[in-house]
Amino acid sequence: MAERTVRIASAHGLHARPASLFTQAVARAGMPVEIGKGEKAVNAASILGVISLGIDKDDEVRLSADGENAEAVLDELVGLLTTDHDA
């Protein structure tokens, strides 16, 4: 299992648009990915789950993926989360 901790860059956090970009990338990855904030973790391919975490700018989240190429998948997802999609 590969894991990363990342700080959110989007000025308004993971609201609808950046959450949609993120969950679509997770779905394309074709492997189980979780995103967590605090004690709660959800399926990262679920836009409702991701939005339910209430992730704001500068929040730290945990990503974990299990499967072949998990490190590369997480690298791509970290790139999405560290980009300000509200700029």
Q: What residues act catalytically?
A: 15
What tokens were used for 82?
Answer: 């560290």
Closest CA to 51 of 64, 40, 39: 40
Positive/negative CA dihedral, 22, 46, 26, 69: positive
The Cα 34–Cα 36 span in angstroms is 7
